[in-house]
Amino acid sequence: MLVALCSFKGSPGVTTSALAIAACSPTHAQPVVVECDPAGGDIFARFRLQPIPGLVSLAAAARRGVGPGVLAQHTQRLPGGLPVVVGPAGAEQARAALGEITHHQAAVLRAAADQDGMVVLADCGRVDPDSPALPIVRAADALVLLVHARDDELAHVATRLDTAARWTPKPCLVLVGNGYPTSEVARVLGVGVMGRIPHDPKGAAILSGTAHAGRGLQRTPLGRAATRIWTPLSAPPTVAPVGSQPSTKPVPPPRSGLPVGSVTRTSVNRTQP
C-alpha cells in the first residue's frame, strides 16, 4: 500500500505524523517512511543521520531499475528501528530527486508498496498543482491531508478539496490538535476524516529526535492516536466514509460554525459521497 501524506498550508505535522503512524503500525504491516517533500527533508538532521542513503541515492538507483527491493536499499533506521528514506536538506536537490522518483507513476515507490504487507508512507510536504511530488499523490492508494482543526487551515482545505479530488477519488483528512469537532469537519466539508492527532509536544519530541521514547511512543497520546489511524487506513476501501471516525476525545467548542460553508458550498456538495 502506498499512502501519500501532505498538507495544503502551514506545518501541521505531516513529517511527525507520518513517523508516528509508521512507528505505531500493526505487527502485520512493514512500514517505511519516504521523505518526498519538495521543500527538502528534516528527518536526517533531526535524527543526525547521514544524508545518504536516502532520496537522492534512491533517485539515482531508480534510473537503473525499479524492482521491488530497490527502495529498501536506500533506507536508514531511526532509533527503535523504523526504516526511513531521508530527503536531502536542500529544496533544489529534493526536487531533482523527485523528478526521477516520480517517473512512470512513481514506479519505484509502487513496486515496493505492492509487496505483501509493505506500507510506504510518502511524506509529500505541502502540495499544490505544481508540486513535483504530485505524481506520488496521484499514484497513491490513499491521500491523507493533515490539517489543524482551526479556522485558517480548514478554510484553505475547503477551497482546495475539489482539486484534491481530481488527484485521487477520495482524499481524507487527519485533524491535528484542538479545534472544531471531528464530526463537524467531516459533515461540513463532506470528506472522510481518518482520525485526530492530538497536540502532544512530548510525543512530537520523540519523533523529532529530541527526546527518548522512554516507556514507548505507543503510550503517548500521539502514539495512541497514530495507532487508531491504522483502522481506517487498512480497511477497504482505503478511506473511511464521512463521519465514521467520531472524535476520540472532547475538543474545545469552536467560537462559531466552520468558516467554510458559505464560501465553498459548491465544492463541499460536490465532494459529498
Binding residues for ligand ATP (CB under 6 A): 7, 11-16, 37, 42, 125-126, 176, 197, 199-201, 204, 208, 222
Closest distance of CB 255 from Mg ion, Å: 29
**How many whole angstroms separate alpha carbon 198 and alpha carbon 116?**
31
Q: What residue is closest to ligand ATP based on CB?
A: 13
Nearer to ligand ATP, 9 or 103 (CB): 9
**Given phi > 0 = left and psi -120 to 50 = alpha, else beta, which region is 233?**
alpha
| Strand 76-77, strand 83-85: pairing | antiparallel
| Strand 142-148, strand 2-7: pairing | parallel
Nearer to ligand ATP, 11 or 231 (CB): 11
**Closest residue by Cα to residue 198 from 20, 5, 7, 4:** 20
Q: Which does 80 bind (CB under 5 to 8 A by kind): Mg ion, ligand ATP, none?
A: none
The reply on whether position 15 binds Mg ion by CB under 5 A is yes
The secondary structure of 162-185, three-state, reads: HHHHHHCCCCEEEEECCCCCHHHH
The rounded Cα 259 to chain-centroid distance in angstroms is 24
Nearer to ligand ATP, 203 or 232 (CB): 203
The reply on whether position 131 binds Mg ion by CB under 5 A is no
The reply on whether position 17 binds Mg ion by CB under 5 A is no
Closest distance of CB 15 from Mg ion, Å: 3
Closest distance of CB 100 from Mg ion, Å: 21
